[in-house]
Structure 1
Amino acid sequence: MEVSAKVKVGGFLWLEGLVEACCLHRVVILCMRSNNLLMRTGQCFLLNGFIFLGSIFVLNSVVIPALWWILPDQSSQFVSHKLCDLGGTLKFYSFVRLALIQLFYVLWFYPLYVFSIVLSTIWYNDIAKYGYAAMGRSKFTVEKGSSQNNSPTLQNAHHVKGPSGLGGVMIGIGQQVYSILLLSVFFLEVYATGFIPYIGKLLNFLLLSWMYAYYCFEYKWNFNEVALDRRLDYFESYWPFFAGFGSPCVLAIFFFSPLVSYGIMAILFPLFVLTATGSESEQEISFEKHRWRAAGVERLPIFYVADKVSMWMLSLLPMEKGDQVQDRKAQ
C-alpha cells in the first residue's frame, strides 16, 4: 500500500509539473507588462525561428533539390544516353554536389549556429530578468524540510547571506564554477544514456526533462539568490514535478534532427523560462493540500554522479581555490 501511495504521489507531482509547464498564458501576461520582454522574446523568435529554421527549410526544400536537378546522379536524367557510359562524370557530379552542400554548412549554418547560441544565451538571461521584474515578486528561498519523513517541504524562509567582501565574492565564483561543472558532467550523462540498448531512449528522455527543467528554474533561483545546495536539495526532493515540467520541452525536439531540434528548442526555451518564472510552486505547492501528499516521495540523487565527478575535478585545482569552492557545502 505504501508503494502504491508513493507512486500515486509521484504521478500527481509529475502531472502538476506538466500543467505548470503548459501555462503559456503567463508568457502573454508578462509580455503585456514589459515592452523589453516582448522585444527580447520577439528577437529570439526572429533569429531562431525565421532565420535559423528558415535557413534549414530553404536548404532542404530549395537548395538541395536544385543541386540534384543540376547535378543528377542517374544517367536517365541526361539527354544523351552516351553520357551514361561516363561513370566518372556521375561521380564528379556527386562530389561537387556534396561539396556545395558542405560549403553551405561551413559558410552559413555553423557560423549561424554559434552566433545563435551566444546571442540566445544573452537574450535568455534578459528574458528571465525582464520576466522576473514583470512579476514584481519579493524574494523567496528554498528551505530544507524535515528529514524524518524524507519529504522536504518548501517554506518561506529568511535568506541566509553569505560572507561579504572578497570572501563572499570568491565563494560566489566557486559556486558558479561548480554549477557549470555539475551541469556539464550531467549533460555528458544525458548524452551517454542515448547509447544504452533498449532503455537508452527512455532514460535519455527522462534526464533531458530534468536538465531542461533545471535550466528553466535556475534563472529565477539565481535572481532570488537561492543557495546552490538548497536548489539541488529541492530539485532532487521533488524530482517527479521537474520531470513533468521538462517533458514538454523534450517532447518538442525528441524526434527531429539535431539542428532542427536546436532551432525548435531555442524558440520554446524562453517560453518555458517565463512559465517557470511565473510559477508559484516554490511558495504554494498546491498538491500539498491533498491528503495523499502525506505519503511523501523518496529523494532521488539525480546529480550524485555529476557531483562526485565535479568535486573530483575541483580537487585537482590549487588547494586554496579548491577549498573555497567546496565551501558551497556549508552555505
Structure 2
Amino acid sequence: MSDTFQNIISNLVWGFRDSILGMFKAFKLDSEIPTEHSSRTVEPMTALAKRRAEKSKHKDTVKESSEPKVTQRIALCCAWNGGVCLMSIFIFNYCVLPIIFWVTEIVSARAGSSNTVWSWLSVLLSATFDALWILPLFVLSKIVNCFWFQDIADAAYLKTRGKPQLPSISRFIADMSFSLLLQALFLIQAMLIKLLPIWGIGHLISLVHICLLYALYAFEYKWFNMGLEVHTRLAHIETNWAYFCGFGLPLAVVTSLPSSNFQSGCIFSIIFPLVIISANEAVEPTEPFEFPLKLFAPVVSISNSIFHRSVSKRTRNVSSSSSRSSSTSSTPQKTRH
C-alpha cells in the first residue's frame, strides 16, 4: 500500500514538473532545426548540385522568414486573450463601474435620495456589458483560439518530431466529432460529481476530472499528429492517470481561482498554448500504472451509443433511398404508339 502511494506521488510530481518546465522550452523552439532537415546524411555533391542546394536553401530561408514563428503565434494568442478579452473585463469592473458608482453617489446625495439606485443600476450595467461585449467576444475567442492552438501545436510538432501523419478527411471528421462529444460529456460528468453531498470528496474527484481533461486537451494535438486513435489516447490517460493528473494540475488550479467563468476562460486561453508545448516536449510514461482509473468509461459508452445510433439511422436512410431509386428504375415505362 505504501509503495502504491509513493508511486502515485512520484507520478504526480513527474507530470507537474513536465508541465511547468516544458513551458520554458517554447522560447527555444524557433532556434531549433526541424528534424526532417537534421536527419539527412551529408553526401559529396557536384558543383551543379551545390548550386541547386544553395538555391533551395535560399528558398527555404525566405519561406521560414515569411512564416510566423512559434513564439510569435504564442505572443499573438496571449495579446488577444489577455490584452483584449481579459483587460476589457478588468477595465470595466475596476475603472468604469467605480466611476459610475462615484457619479451616482454624488447625484443621489445632492438629490437627497437613497443609494438604492446603484443596486439595480450596477446589475443592469453588468448584464448589458456581458451580453453585448463579453459573450460575443468570448464566442469569437473560442473560434479563433481553436485555429491558433492547432497552428501552435503543428508548428511545435514539426520543429521537434517532423511531419505529422495526416489521416483521411472522413477519419479526421469522425475522430474530431467523437472527441468533442466525449470531452463535453466528461466535463458534464465532472460538474455532476462536484455536487456530491460528501464535503471535500466531490471537489477532489471533480478536480481529478478537470486535470485529466486538461491533460487530454494538451496531449491530443501530439497524439493525433502521431496517428493515434481516440480510444488509444484515452487508454494512455487512464493507464497513467497519476502522471496526467499531475500534468493538468497547474492549469486546473490557476483557472479555478477567478470567480467569473469569462475570466477563467481568458486565463485558460493565455496559458494553454504553453501547455501544448509542454505536452509536445514531455516524455510520458510508457509502462502502465499499477491500476488504471476508468473515469472515461461512462462517457465512452454514451458516446459510442450516440454514434452507433446516428450511423445506423444514416445507413437506414441510405438503404431506403437506394431501394426507392432501384424500384423506380425497374418500373417499365409506358410507350406511346
The TM-score normalised by the length of structure 2 is 0.75
**Aligned sequence identity (%):** 24
> Match for 2:72: what amino acid?
M
What is the distance in 1 between the residues matched to 2:137 and 2:300?
33
Q: For residue 120 of structure 2, what is the aligned residue in structure 1?
A: 95
Q: For residue 306 of structure 2, what is the aligned residue in structure 1?
A: 313
Structure 1 residues 18 and 322: alpha-carbon distance in aligned structure 2, compared to 1, 3 A threshold: farther
Structure 1 residues 78 and 121: alpha-carbon distance in aligned structure 2, compared to 1, 3 A threshold: same
2:178 counterpart of 1:178: yes
- C-alpha deviations, 1:253-308, integer Å up to 9, x for none? 112121221111110000000110111336xx5xx7xxxx9xx5111212111111
Q: For residue 42 of structure 1, what is the aligned residue in structure 2?
A: 75
Q: For residue 223 of structure 2, what is the aligned residue in structure 1?
A: 221
2:5 counterpart of 1:7: yes
Q: For residue 24 of structure 2, what is the aligned residue in structure 1?
A: 25
Q: Which consecutive residues of structure 1, in runs of 5 or more, have no partner in the other structure? A: 140-158, 163-167, 324-331
Q: For residue 290 of structure 2, what is the aligned residue in structure 1?
A: 297
What is the distance in 2 between the residues matched to 1:183 and 1:231?
12
| 2:234 corresponds to which of 228, 232, 235 | 232
Q: For residue 154 of structure 1, what is the aligned residue in structure 2?
A: none
What is the distance in 2 between the residues matched to 1:51 and 1:4?
49
What is the distance in 1 between the residues matched to 2:313 and 2:119?
59
2:103 counterpart of 1:70: yes
Structure 1 residues 109 and 11: alpha-carbon distance in aligned structure 2, compared to 1, 3 A threshold: same
Name whichever of 314-323 and 225-234 sits farther off: 314-323
> Match for 2:297: what amino acid?
Y
Which secondary structure state, in structure 2, belongs to the residue aligned with residue 111 of structure 1?
helix
Structure 1 residues 321 and 6: alpha-carbon distance in aligned structure 2, compared to 1, 3 A threshold: farther
- C-alpha deviations, 1:18-77, integer Å up to 9, x for none? 1110112211112444842122111111011111111111011111111211223x99x6
**Structure 1 residue 112, shift from structure 2 partner:** 1.1
Q: Which has the higher helix share?
A: 2
Listed as ranges, the matches of 1:1-331 within 5 Å are 3-23=1-21, 24-33=23-32, 35-72=68-105, 78-79=109-110, 83-84=112-113, 90-92=115-117, 94-137=119-162, 170-197=170-197, 198=199, 199-257=201-259, 258-281=261-284, 296-319=289-312
> Match for 1:79: what amino acid?
R
Equivalent residue pairs, number:
278
- Does structure 2 retain, via aligned residues, the 8 Å contact 1:71–1:97? no
Cα RMSD of the aligned pairs, angstroms, is: 2.7
- C-alpha deviations, 1:214-243, integer Å up to 9, x for none? 000000011111122222222211110000
Which secondary structure state, in structure 1, belongs to the residue aligned with residue 28 of structure 2?
helix
- Does structure 1 retain, via aligned residues, the 8 Å contact 2:26–2:71? no
- C-alpha deviations, 1:127-165, integer Å up to 9, x for none? 1011111214477xxxxxxxxxxxxxxxxxxx9x99xxx
- Does structure 2 retain, via aligned residues, the 8 Å contact 1:20–1:245? yes
What is the distance in 2 between the residues matched to 1:237 and 1:93?
54
What is the distance in 2 between the residues matched to 1:169 and 1:46?
33
Structure 1 residues 179 and 322: alpha-carbon distance in aligned structure 2, compared to 1, 3 A threshold: farther
Which secondary structure state, in structure 2, belongs to the residue aligned with residue 256 of structure 1?
coil
> Match for 1:178: what amino acid?
F
What is the distance in 1 between the residues matched to 2:239 and 2:315?
27
Which secondary structure state, in structure 2, belongs to the residue aligned with residue 43 of structure 1?
helix
The TM-score normalised by the length of structure 1 is 0.76
What is the distance in 1 between the residues matched to 2:217 and 2:315?
25
